[in-house]
Amino acid sequence: MTARTRRNPSPYSHDEMLRLSRGTLTTPDETIKVHQIGKGAFAVAYVEDNVPAGRTPRVFIVVNDDVYDKELLAMAHDSEPSNPHLPAVERFGYLPDKSVFAMPLYNAPLRKSDSPEGWRDYVMLKKCREKVYGVRKSGYEINEDVYACAEAAGVRPIVLDALRVLIDTASNYGAEYVFEFSPRNLATDEAGNLILLDVLYDRERLAQMRREAAKKRGW
C-alpha cells in the first residue's frame, strides 16, 4: 500500500504549502486528522485518525529542512521499492521551514512474536554493530564493517540487499551516517517482514546537538 492517497502521485510542492495545527494536517486535496505518536531528536511523527476499514493508516514525519534522515530513507526506497525490508518513506510536502514525509503505519517496536526471522536478523545485526563500532572510524567505515559481519553471520540475503541500499544512499549524505539497531527503530509490516525503520543517524549532528544543549545548561 502506498504511503498516501492523493490523486497526484508527486509530492506537494513549496507552492502547495501544507498546514499543521491543532491535530489537523491540511493539504490542497484533503484535511487529515492526526495525533502525535512520537518525537525524536530530529523529527516529530503523527498518525492519521479515522481511517476507513481496510486501509493502513499513514504516518507523517515532520523534520527541519536541514535534516536529511527521512529524505535518505525516501531515496533508498525509491531506488529499491520492491525490497520489503526498506520502509516505504515518501516525501509528502512542506510546512514553513520544515519537510513532511509519509509512510504506512508499521508494527513497532520490533517484537520476536511478530517475526521470528526478523528478530534473528536483528540480533545478528546488533551484535555486528557492537563488534565493529569505533569512534575513530567514520560512519561509512562502520556501516561497511557491519555489512561484512552480517553477511558472515548469516543475515538473510534480501536483508543484506536492503542494508547495501541504505549504506550506498547514506554515503551521498556524508560519512557520518551510522547504523544503530534496536527494537525501537525496527518494525514489521502486515506480512511479518522485518522493516529497517530508522536504523541510520548522523553521528556528528547528534553530537553537535548534545554539545549545544550542554552549553545552554552551563556544563
Residue 37 sits in a domain whose CATH number is 3.30.200
Q: Is the pLDDT of residue 7 over 60?
A: no
Q: Strand locations in the chain, DSSP E?
A: 19-21, 24-26, 31-39, 43-48, 58-64, 90-95, 98-104, 177-179, 187-188, 194-195, 200-202
Does residue 89 share a domain with residue 121? no
Find the distance separating the first CA and the last CA of the chain, reported in whole Å: 48
Q: Final residue of a domain: which of 46, 76, 104?
A: 104
Task: Tell me the three cell numbers of residue 13.
Answer: 510542492
Residue type present at position 201? Y
Residue 59 lies in a domain: yes
Does residue 190 share a domain with residue 132? yes
State pTM to two decimals: 0.90
Specify the pLDDT at position 6.
45
**pLDDT tens digits, 83-117:** 999 999 999 999 998 999 999 999 999 999 999 99
Number of domains in the chain: 2
Q: Final residue of a domain: which of 104, 128, 150?
A: 104
Residue 30 lies in a domain: yes
181 contacts 125 by C-beta, under 8 angstroms: yes
**pLDDT tens digits, 148-182:** 999 999 999 999 999 999 999 999 999 999 999 99
**pLDDT tens digits, 13-49:** 988 999 999 999 999 999 999 999 999 888 999 999 9
Average pLDDT over residues 120-127: 98
